[in-house]
Amino acid sequence: MEGEVMTSSPGNLSCKKIIHAVGPKWVNGERHEEITLLNCVDNCFLETEKEKMQSIAIPPISTGIFEFPMGKAVKAIVGAIKQREKNNEYLPQLISLVDNKSDSLQLFETELRQSKARPSNSSSSSATGKYTITDKMIKLASGISIELVYDDLMTSQEDTLVNSVGKDMNLSSGKVAAALSKKAGPQLQAACTALAPIASGEVKETDGFNLACKKVLHCNCPRWQGPQTIPLLKQIMMNCLNKAASNGYVSIAFPALGTGNLNYPPAMSAQYMIEAIMEFSQENPESSITQVKVIVYHLDIKTKKGFENEMTRLKTGNLVKMRPQPKVEDEMTRLKTGHSPKINLQPKVMGFDSADHEETSLEGMSSGLRKGALKGCVAVHNTKVRIVRGDITDHKAEALVLNSTDGGLSIREAPKGLWVSGAGHLTAKFIFHIKTNNSSDSWSKIICTCLEECDKRELQSIAFPALGTGELLEFRRGIIL
């Protein structure tokens, strides 16, 4: 019946459970559909509570074939969240409001802001507990304090220090690791060498030697690849906290993970490091850990600002965290409207060398090209470039490009970062496995490499994913970010 939900296993999906919700069909409000949808979302929260899950992702239910008006659906979904918050009832730690349309995400954000009535102060509460926050410290209901400190990690006297290392555990490859090694003495590097290699996401333990700590936890953080990197960062945090707790230690100090050579945006590192600590506190209320410090080097202004902004966001009760990403249609709009003065057509495209390209003035662009941009298709020489929605594996191209977040050995050691395999049961002939470092320069180079490979293999078509895209709106409450 409408409004009912049921839970099943996720199959091959990466989540723990799938909640199947029967949203109402819109009949001009004649059957109190908004109330039914609100109750439907509320039932989803009841399921998460019953299954003891900490997070949930909710799409705009019923806005597809059931023709529910987007604005009314957004009001009902946010209404269910606010109703539970007002009644001090259970809510998951993380509620993600997801859709592939920017306009619906904007509606969610607007509705959350308009419905928010909680005053800005230094004390917050939730159905799962309370926390108090100052400019540089969060005190959780479990007794754990999270403190932001501007200092050198090597001078920290916590029971456990966390150190970020590369695969070979060479302590000279990073500034923080090198400083720890100098302070600890050569025994620390010798212990790391004996434990190497360390896999991405793994945590290994050594003594502190001449450091003031009892143990050092060495973790291999992946390079920033966009939002898909976040779960591994949080898992590293959880692993470190669990190891420290299993030793019966009461204090642990982290550096600002990933904000150096790994290119993590400081705001992202701050948000998800603190979130992981809070989740650990929720899941381990009897843990021996009472003090967690995040040590930011005092001269690293950019990282200091990122962490300070996150503390301010928590202190002021800003519940909405928007991570907008560019839409693929935006580039076609740019070509159509001429907002940028030039486009640079550089890749070698199906037999056309880069020497054949020219910088094309948008003002002089043909009407055919602009019409094509409006329809999601432009022509470069004899090659058509189309923007297509859907699953790339369903696309009938001779080559499909797969972006591997971390990349296996074959990809990492392949010339120019491209490794070609067969396509199995897919309709394509080949799969091009690539690894990028999430920068436009990297994308440009690998796209050219893929096009050159197509030309070499005399392929007529190739499908790329929209590299680095994805949209997510997160609502966080109480002790949850």
**Tokens matching residue 304:** 């200091």
What are the domain boundaries of the chain? Answer: 5-117, 123-316, 328-463
Pick the CATH number of 123-316 from 1.10.287.1080, 3.40.220.10, 3.10.310.30, 3.90.180.10: 3.40.220.10
Rg from Cα positions in the chain: 25
More confident residue, 447 or 318: 447
Q: Are 350 and 454 in contact (CB under 8 A)?
A: yes
Residue 145 near residue 290, CB atoms below 8 Å: yes
Give Cα 239 distance to the centre of its chain: 19
H-state helical runs in 87-205: 102-115, 175-184, 186-195
Confidence of residue 437 (pLDDT cuts 50, 70, 90): low
Options 3.40.50, 3.40.220, 1.25.40, 1.20.1150; CATH for 328-463 is 3.40.220
Range from 30-44, 131-145, 281-295, 321-335 carrying the lowest mean pLDDT: 321-335
**What pLDDT was estimated at residue 158?**
96
Lowest mean pLDDT among 44-58, 171-185, 214-228, 405-419: 405-419
Coil, strand or helix at 418? strand
Q: How sure is the predictor about 448, in pLDDT bands with cuts at 50, 70 and 90?
A: confident
Percent of the residues in the chain that have a pLDDT greater than 70, as a whole number? 75
Phi, psi of 274 (to 5 degrees): -65, -40
Main-chain phi, psi angles of 165, to 5 degrees: -135, 165
pLDDT in tens, 81-101: 888 887 778 888 888 888 877
What SS3 class is residue 58? Answer: strand
Mind listing the pLDDT tens digit for each residue in 176-229? 999 999 999 999 999 999 999 999 999 999 999 999 999 999 999 999 887 778
Nearest of 247, 173, 178, 165 to residue 207 by alpha carbon? 247
Fill in the amino acid letter for 416.
K
pLDDT confidence of residue 324? 38
161 secondary structure, DSSP code = E
Q: Cα–Cα distance between 371 and 225 in angstroms, integer?
A: 34
Which helix (H) or strand (E) is 320 found in, with range?
A: strand 320-323
Tell me the per-residue pLDDT of 352-396, one tens digit each, with 9 for 90 and over. Answer: 333 333 333 333 344 444 444 444 555 555 677 877 766 777 777
- Residue corresponding to tokens 């936890």: 217
Q: What is the rounded distance in angstroms from the CA atom of residue 375 to the CA atom of residue 478?
A: 45
Task: Write down the mean pLDDT value for the chain.
Answer: 78
* Mean pLDDT comparison of 24-28, 389-393, 419-423, highest-scoring range: 24-28
Which residues, 6+ apart, have CB-to-CB distance to 110 below 8 Å? Answer: none
Instruction: Point out which residues pair with 434 in neighbouring strands.
Output: 403, 418
Identical fold for domains 123-316 and 328-463, yes or no, is yes
Q: What is the pLDDT of residue 150?
A: 93
Q: Name the CATH superfamily for 5-117.
A: Leucine Aminopeptidase, subunit E, domain 1 (3.40.220.10)
Q: Please check whether residue 138 is in contact with residue 132, taking contact to mean a CB–CB distance below 8 angstroms.
A: yes
The token duo for 224 is: 């920033």
Q: With H, G, I as helix, E, B as strand and everything else as coil, classify residue 189.
A: helix
Write out pLDDT tens, residues 100-140.
776 777 788 777 777 654 433 345 543 334 567 887 899 98
Asked if 153 contacts 176 with a C-beta cutoff of 8 angstroms, the reply is: yes
